[in-house]
Amino acid sequence: MAKAQKRPPTLAMKRTTAQDKDRAQYGAKRESILHAAGPVLQREGINGATMGAIAKEAGVDRATIYYYFEDKQEIFRTAIHDGLAEMVGALEDIAASGHSAEVRLRDSIRAVMRAYERHYPQLYIFFQDGATSSIIDNHLNAEILASGARYEALVEAAVRDGVESGVFATPLPPRMFAKVVVGMLNWTSRWFVPGGAMGADDIADGMAETVLRGIMARPARKR
């Protein structure tokens, strides 16, 4: 009986082998490709972005890109996932820090803006109406919704602690005030571009100062 011919390994099998062999090097290369996809997305948009353009931006050939990702949708989905995981992880660390409500709120605003800057423009694309249908599948959509809910809950917790301790004073319930802060941060998708006169930290600190000037409780003036 003739021996069955050995099938050549698929790209998926090669990816798994390479990842197992040298995870650090494999991860670094994937990260560089993800980073390179940002400027291409910014210039060309989701529909106009191509694997060839991403490869050129990353300084590799198309074959190398396919060695790490199946298609451009996987590249952008991975970038969004990584950005959300980093952002929510930073917010969780801030929540567990034991710092005052004021410091936690300031740090939370800064953590979100840093994530938006680091993962620009991928973390912004799901705020753009009608721009994500070819990229965001049901699994990623569920992750986005869960991450958004957790992000809002962690901001709300800082506000609630501040109100209950008498440090903050606002006529809005903590949950509603948290929505105001989150909405302000998410709206930066309409105008923030890294590399401008003000970076993520500058904008975050300005936002935090504006928010806190409005809710910080002040001692009553003596007559």
pLDDT in tens, 177-203: 999 999 999 999 999 999 999 999 999
* pLDDT at site 18: 53
CA 33 to chain centre: 16
Residue with tokens 């003000």: 198
Give me the CATH number covering residue 82. Answer: 1.10.357.10
CA 31 to CA 41: how far, in whole Å?
A: 16
CA 77 to CA 123: how far, in whole Å?
A: 10
For residues 216 and 169, is the Cβ–Cβ distance under 8 A?
Answer: yes
Owning domain of residue 94: 72-223
Same domain, 105 and 205: yes
Residue with tokens 């998926």: 12
pTM for this prediction: 0.80
For residues 174 and 159, is the Cβ–Cβ distance under 8 A?
Answer: yes
Same domain, 29 and 99: no
Same domain, 76 and 180: yes
pLDDT single digits (tens) 123-149:
887 676 555 556 777 888 888 889 999
Q: Which of 70, 100, 115 is the last residue of a domain?
A: 70
More confident residue, 72 or 18: 72
* pLDDT at site 9: 56
* pLDDT at site 204: 97
* pLDDT at site 161: 96
Same domain, 173 and 138: yes
Same domain, 191 and 111: yes
Let me know if residue 3 belongs to a domain. no
- Residue 12 pLDDT class (50, 70, 90 cuts): low
Same domain, 206 and 134: yes
Tokens linked to 181: 């802060």
Let me know if residue 5 belongs to a domain. no
Secondary structure of the chain in HEC code, one letter for each residue: CCCCCCCCCCHHHHHHHHHHHCHHHHHHHHHHHHHHHHHHHHHHHHHHCCHHHHHHHHCCCHHHHHHHCCCHHHHHHHHHHHHHHHHHHHHHHHHCCCCCHHHHHHHHHHHHHHHHHHCCCHHHHHHCCCCCCCCCCHHHHHHHHHHHHHHHHHHHHHHHHHHHCCCECCCCCHHHHHHHHHHHHHHHHHCCCCCCCCCHHHHHHHHHHHHHHHHECCCCCCC
Q: Which of 24, 55, 70 is the last residue of a domain?
A: 70
Lowest mean pLDDT among 14-18, 138-142, 156-160, 206-210: 14-18
Same domain, 63 and 80: no
Give me the CATH number covering residue 26. Answer: 1.10.10.60
Same domain, 76 and 62: no
Lowest mean pLDDT among 2-11, 54-63, 182-191: 2-11
Tokens linked to 97: 């820090």
Please tell me the total count of domains within the chain.
2
